[in-house]
A and B are shown apart, each in its own frame.
Chain A
Amino acid sequence: MAKIKLDNIRHSYFPNPKSDDDFALKRVHFDWEDGGAYALLGPSGCGKTTLLNIISGLLIPSHGKLQFDGQDVTRLSPKDRNIAQVFQFPVIYDTMTVYDNLAFPLRNRGVNEAKIDAKVREIAAMLEIEDMLSKKAAGLSPDNKQKISLGRGLVREDVNVIMFDEPLTVIDPHLKWKLRSKLKELHQQVKTTMIYVTHDQTEALTFADQVVVMNFGQVLQVGTPQALFDCPEHTFVGHFIGSPGMNVLPAQVKDGQVWVAGQAVEVSSSLESLPEGKLEIGVRPEYVRISDTGVEATVRNLMDVGRHKVLETLVGDIKVHVVLGENQQVSSDRVHLQFEPANTRLYADGWLVDLQHEFEEV
């Protein structure tokens, strides 16, 4: 097990990257604490698989260093890094039995058979696949195959990190939940650092203690699911996490006040020393209230999502969602919206204005 340090990692798939746009990973500077359960969350093409492959050693970054416990491993092969990875589609050795599949990484490393046997049985018990050990791996269901590819990671002692690259893609919906809670349980048992890559926020938020949200080739925010929900540091985080996501409205600052659609709005952010850039306010639908005064909006649609109702309104041509209270009714087509000041924040060029983020220093 190890603490993993990403030291100014940049990666481009082009031989001579010119602008920032040529980089699949613009700049990632981040520490993964030993034994943590992390989720790497972001939409397709945001750079998360690139980052994962850099950590596993399948890819060498064009810039920056990777350290495991202070040791530079940037150029080590995947084998020497002692990591494990579970892929999107289950990778199993078809011709081998389940037992041989699990024993394979140990046999390759020359471990003696008695030790292998003990370890394989221990892991099989952990994954609840003991009854399948003598079966051919090819005939198993996708969820069991995925368990075996996970098991091949678990059998090795002192694995630095186990990485999951969207491991539930091919699993039936009713088994997804089961396998996910199994993963969580396993993490508590083995205490290995785990990094779980996904674009599904439910998967990320249920598995991880810390969620790393990525987009545009950079890390936007790292935090507990709660922190990501309460205080998104980037409008994308606010929008991507939560259902529906955070409302984002264009804003101006005039006379020490924030103005949205011609109405003064109170925000929690400080208005001193505002950075340059396009200003927006962000407020989650949960913190928008229907009121007699405030920002004017047109009602578009009312959606019943079970626990509560979501009202879709338009401010100008921008969609604003409002979570309605249990017995709240909306009678007219035109409503006024109030934003709870404590949970309304100001963003400049997407970034929370209160944040002194590192990217501008570069």
Chain B
Amino acid sequence: MKTENPRAWFLVLPVILLVAFNALIPLMTVVNYSVQETFGNNVFFWQGVDWFEQILHSERFHAALGRQFLFTGIILAIEIPLGVAIALAMPRKGIWVPVCLILMALPLLIPWNVVGAMWNIFTLPDIGLMGYGLNNWLGIEYDMTQSPLAAWVTIVVMDVWHWTSLVVLLAYAGLVSIPDAYYQAAEIDGASKWSVFRFIQLPKMKQVLTIAVLLRFMDSFMIYTEPFVLTGGGPGNSTTLLSIDLVKVALGQFDLGPAAAMSLIYFAITLLVSWIFYTIMTKESKE
């Protein structure tokens, strides 16, 4: 029986057009820039893969990429377990459920640059609550504009504060979808709390956690606004993550060719790592 109808393609045409205009055409423009050199006035010279070679051998790029992976690694290592732990601690029934959900959702509703600005003020050593408190009440010397370590701790804590909720909400959604019978059966089988987590809760959360890891990987790997507003990439280059570096190249130095090549490499890495995550995390369920 033939159920395919080629005319169905017309139905997806609007989406194809939309994607073409907002993704494919801009991307192709970038590809176009990445193989040419320009000195302005719309005059272009063919450059081949030179920019790619230059970027791939650039120490500056290696350093930014290293910082980026470090940042994303720390973020995932903190936010995923923490998010799951908070979701486990949240009530499953009762009047506290909506309260917890709203409290959890609040950070997610704040725009990125506002988060950056908030934390900027929050950490000021002279007037910010955290900056002042650490220096004056706890006696810890803290100034993120001076110390790279303090700057790193601050952007990590800020991201954890801003985005752990996303993991919590996803994990919680996975948890509440587990029927009571599973917990009852586990109780009858004499399972310990750890066994319940390991054999019931974790497997049932797996799919949403896959999504959580992917989202948090992509978002943190492409993070720009918050650290830019908070530290501006400093002190020095210590918090210059890939996207910040990219903007410096593209708009600060106006090196369109290298910037385009860098964005394509950046894009390819993001895509590759996402694909690796996805393949590993869904591999088991296919067996």
Contacts and interface: CB of A to CB of B under 8 A. Distances in A.
B195 to A, nearest CB: 7
A78 B199 contact: no
B187 A77 contact: yes
Given A104-B189, A108-B190, A89 B181 contact: yes
A108 B194 CA distance: 11
A93 B181 CA distance: 12
Interface string A100-130: 0000110011000000000000000000000
Interface stretch (A25-33, A63-71, A80-88): A80-88
Contacts of B185: 85, 87, 91, 149, 152
Give the interface size bracket for A toward B: 20 to 34
A94 B284 CA distance: 11
Contacts of A104: 189, 191, 195, 199
Given A95-B199, A95-B203, A108-B195, A85 B287 contact: no
Contact of B192 (A93, A108, A152): A108
Given A78-B184, A85-B185, A149-B185, A96 B190 contact: no
A138 B207 CA distance: 15
A359 B285 CA distance: 55
Contacts of A79: 187-190
A108 B203 contact: no
A87 B184 CA distance: 9
B179 interface: yes
B188 A83 contact: yes
Nearest to A105: B189
B108 interface: no
Contacts of A149: 185
Nearest to A153: B188
Contacts of B285: 138
B182 interface: yes
Contacts of A93: 199-200, 203
A136 interface: yes
Contacts of B203: 93-95
Nearest to A94: B203
A53 to B, nearest CB: 8
Contacts of A152: 185, 189
A326 to B, nearest CB: 48
A58 B190 CA distance: 13
B280 to A, nearest CB: 16
A78 B181 contact: no
A58 B187 contact: yes
Interface residues of B, number: 19
Nearest to B188: A78
A93 B200 CA distance: 6
Contacts of A78: 184, 187-188
A56 interface: yes
B189 to A, nearest CB: 4
B143 to A, nearest CB: 48
A214 to B, nearest CB: 21
Given A108-B192, A136-B287, A91 B182 contact: yes
A332 to B, nearest CB: 55
Interface string A29-69: 00000000000000000000000000010100000000000
B191 A108 contact: yes
B202 to A, nearest CB: 8
A86 B181 CA distance: 9
Contacts of A91: 179, 181-182, 184-185
B188 A84 contact: yes
A84 B185 CA distance: 8
Given A95-B199, A96-B199, A105 B190 contact: yes
A91 B285 CA distance: 18
Interface string B80-116: 0000000000000000000000000000000000000
Nearest to A152: B189
Nearest to A155: B189
B25 to A, nearest CB: 44
B150 to A, nearest CB: 42
A139 to B, nearest CB: 9
A105 B191 CA distance: 7
A292 to B, nearest CB: 58
A16 to B, nearest CB: 19
Nearest to A86: B185
Given A84-B188, A95-B199, A152-B185, 17 more contacts: A56-B184, A79-B190, A85-B185, A87-B184, A89-B179, A91-B185, A93-B200, A94-B203, A94-B204, A95-B203, A95-B284, A104-B191, A105-B188, A105-B190, A108-B189, A108-B195, A138-B285
14 contacts: A56-B184, A79-B187, A79-B189, A83-B188, A85-B185, A89-B181, A91-B179, A91-B184, A91-B185, A96-B199, A104-B195, A108-B189, A109-B190, A152-B189
